[in-house]
Chain A
């Protein structure tokens, strides 16, 4: 029995497919959604969702954060933003990282909420760059 994986952004349904297993970047560590998994809801960090078929990774998506809802036969990922790894533009991600790091240095030292928000974004962008470098190492 496969798991039905859905990746949804606020604008539209990006992806829906039945797979054997999906590995999801949870806030507190990766989690694998498999058939008959106990129902769990989790917060996501920026990272890569890997879909497995026959024991090998068939598709990889980058999500910048969001939520996931896993039940016995279903795995719904509510992503803030999501795109296939191949579509990440390395130069754009690096430029974004640079501006974010600039922003972080400009934030007031006592504004913890803002610092937290930006450093989350930085982590997510770093994850995107790492994923892109790993998938197309020609760069």
Chain B
């Protein structure tokens, strides 16, 4: 049985832990709100980009060879870009993602593809270096829980575009946590190359044919790399919001658990104290009777 002094120290320890977790929860909540707003604000650009691409894709259909960013390369090397967080303490946020990457890798390999992995974020980097040391292309730092700058996505997009252009990889998939709500993040895999072409659904709005300036090929050559960047940006934003949501939930649980631990420790402390006093009283009384 621990002494009163030990119990007191433990209660104080858990209390200060609870302070930390509840502060982290509040920080995560305010970041989450901000990141969600960012994700919201970035949608019009992505939507307009999609519309233009599907229009262009329809116009270039059946016109000879398509750019590599659209069709993918001839080989069978598949690049998996994994977006994780830099910091832990976010529940199963990264672990779930790593598990789904394992499945994806197994599936791709059973289809006879060579898999290369590009992890973004320190947690994913560590896990991938441990599990698939031979498949790593590079390890890229994440955003450290700060705001996602478009430049980050642009650099990542450029990197991937270069890998494609040099023929090192032929297809690209990005794996990240999609933000559903603060409680739920769904590991999602999204094909970037070859481009899943959205069927042209706004054809009915305009009877006139689009004109392109300078021409379809040039426009496509400029739009496609931009599209990759925009897709990465959207995924990074989702992942950043998801991270904060996961951390908020995890810290909320931790705070609640700390509260429970404090309650049960306090009860034990009081019982011990009471029994100590009773014991001393009995000793005094029985001592007095003996005289």
Contacts and interface: CB of A to CB of B under 8 A. Distances in A.
B262 to A, nearest CB: 44
Interface stretch (A35-43, A103-111, A124-132): A35-43
Given A11-B38, A12-B42, A39 B52 contact: no
A108 to B, nearest CB: 17
Interface residues of A, number: 23
A41 B210 contact: yes
A41 B206 contact: no
B23 interface: no
A10 B45 contact: yes
Contacts of B229: 10
A12 B41 CA distance: 5
Chain B interface size, under 10 / 10 to 19 / 20 to 34 / 35 or more = 20 to 34
Given A10-B45, A39-B208, A67-B223, A28 B213 contact: yes
B219 A43 contact: yes
Q: Chain B interface secondary structure, helix, strand, loop or mixed?
A: helix
Interface stretch (A52-60, A69-77, A87-95): A69-77
B206 A71 contact: yes
Q: Chain A interface secondary structure, helix, strand, loop or mixed?
A: strand
Contact of B52 (A9, A27, A67, A72): A67
B79 interface: no
B211 A39 contact: yes
Interface in A60-102: 67, 69, 71-72, 76, 78
B200 to A, nearest CB: 13
A22 interface: no
Given A38-B211, A39-B211, A43-B214, 18 more contacts: A6-B44, A8-B45, A9-B150, A10-B45, A10-B150, A10-B229, A10-B233, A12-B41, A13-B41, A13-B45, A27-B213, A28-B213, A38-B208, A39-B206, A43-B219, A67-B222, A72-B208, A76-B48
For the complex of A and B, the 8 pairs showing the least CB-CB separation, nearest first, are A12-B41, A42-B213, A40-B211, A10-B150, A8-B45, A39-B210, A13-B44, A76-B48
Interface of B: 38, 41-42, 44-45, 48-49, 51-52, 55-56, 150, 153, 205-206, 208-214, 218-219, 222-223, 226, 229-230, 233
